[in-house]
């Protein structure tokens, strides 16, 4: 079974609507829709915005559905000139840009206990997703995606995240899903279409382009499922 998580309805509704032999279950306020999508057994959830909701959802999905892989689909802000609005970032790694215990001697971003800054996405799944992006005529870029409980909308924050972590895109859930998946030994991938510039123009961009970008990520994910 393939687990699919998006933060918002616009990132998941079209997927859940297309599921055949559908079963739904609500746990902790999140609806899990399972069944067949494009010939694959899937479970789909809309987790809510931010790292805590994403973690609750990923852990619940793992314990109740035992997915062989979890794929996070949705939108992101760009941190690089290599990714414009409508292009797609595929995570090679994920980090948490708002994790900071540096005053007590750690590097910024270190997740204590497992002592990781970067969580590695599944290489094979990520490469196949990137190939599906390119096959649809859209630019794909692999790299670090940074998550935090902030909508990034200033040039200062954008350059801090890019320079501190070498990240190419920012969003609010991917690294939490990566963290939960890693401690449970479950492979994961993160696919994010760019909705905004993550700087002073981000709010306007997001309002104009988030729906288009969310639909693009959904369509890539479906072509990935069809390719399996
Ligand atoms: N998701 C989409 N755009 C974003 C941004 N600029 N910051 C955080 N999450 C986002």
Per-residue pLDDT reduced to its tens digit, 178-197: 999 999 999 999 999 999 99
What average pLDDT does range 113-129 have in this prediction? Answer: 98
What average pLDDT does range 37-44 have in this prediction? Answer: 98
The reply to whether the predicted model has a pTM over 0.95 is yes
Ligand 1 site-directed mutation target among 152, 168, 212, most atoms within 8 Å of CB: 152
Determine the pLDDT at residue 122. 98
Place of tokens 């479906």: 222
The minimum-distance atom of ligand 1 relative to the CA of 202 is: 6
Residue 76 CA to ligand 1 center (angstroms) comes to 5
CA distances from 191 to 28, 99, 139, 157 (A): 25, 22, 13, 22
The minimum-distance atom of ligand 1 relative to the CA of 198 is: 6
Determine the pLDDT at residue 153. 98
What average pLDDT does range 91-97 have in this prediction? Answer: 98
Determine the pLDDT at residue 192. 98
Per-residue pLDDT reduced to its tens digit, 137-193: 999 999 999 999 999 999 999 999 999 999 999 999 999 999 999 999 999 999 999
The model's confidence at residue 5, banded by pLDDT at 50, 70 and 90, is very high
DSSP secondary structure string for all residues of 205-221: HHHHHHHHHHHHHHHHH
Which residue ranges make up each domain of the chain?
Answer: 2-227
Dmax over Cα atoms in the chain, in whole Å? 52
- Name the residue at shortest CA distance from atom 1 of ligand 1: 76
- Name the residue at shortest CA distance from atom 10 of ligand 1: 171
d(CA 45, CA 25): 10
Q: CATH code for 2-227?
A: 3.40.50.1580
The model's confidence at residue 97, banded by pLDDT at 50, 70 and 90, is very high
Determine the pLDDT at residue 111. 98
Residue 163 CA to ligand 1 center (angstroms) comes to 17
Contacts of 198 (CB under 8 A, 6+ apart): 77, 78, 79, 152, 153, 157, 158, 170
The model's confidence at residue 51, banded by pLDDT at 50, 70 and 90, is very high
What average pLDDT does range 76-83 have in this prediction? Answer: 98
How high is the mean pLDDT of the chain? Answer: 98
Active-site residue list: 11, 196
Ligand 1 near 202 CB (within 6 A): yes
Determine the pLDDT at residue 191. 98
The minimum-distance atom of ligand 1 relative to the CA of 153 is: 6
Q: Quick check: 75 and 34 in contact, CB under 8 A?
A: no
| Percent residues over pLDDT 70 in the chain | 100
3-state SS, residue 20:
strand
User: Residue 13 CB: number of other CB atoms within 10 A?
Assistant: 15
Determine the pLDDT at residue 77. 98
């Amino acid at each position: 079974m393939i687990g699919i998580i998006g933060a918002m309805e616009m990132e998941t509704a079209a997927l859940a609507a297309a599921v055949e032999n559908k079963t739904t279950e609500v746990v902790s306020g999140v609806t899990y829709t399972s069944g067949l999508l494009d010939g694959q057994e899937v479970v789909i959830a809309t987790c809510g915005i931010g790292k805590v909701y994403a973690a609750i959802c990923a852990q619940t999905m793992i314990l109740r559905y035992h997915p062989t892989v979890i794929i996070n689909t949705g939108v992101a802000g760009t941190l690089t000139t290599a990714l414009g609005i409508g292009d797609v970032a595929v995570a090679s790694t994920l980090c948490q840009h708002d994790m900071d215990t540096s005053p007590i001697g750690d590097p910024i971003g270190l997740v204590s206990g497992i002592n990781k800054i970067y969580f590695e996405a599944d290489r094979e799944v990520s490469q196949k997703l990137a190939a599906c992006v390119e096959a649809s005529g859209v630019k794909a870029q692999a790299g670090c995606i940074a998550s935090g409980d902030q909508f990034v909308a200033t040039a200062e924050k954008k350059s801090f995240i890019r320079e501190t972590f070498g990240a190419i895109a920012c969003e609010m859930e991917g690294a939490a899903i990566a963290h939960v998946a890693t401690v449970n030994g479950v492979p994961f991938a993160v696919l994010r279409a760019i909705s905004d510039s993550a700087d002073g123009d981000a709010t306007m961009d997001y309002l104009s382009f988030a729906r288009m970008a969310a639909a693009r990520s959904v369509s890539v994910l479906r072509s990935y499922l069809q390719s399996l």
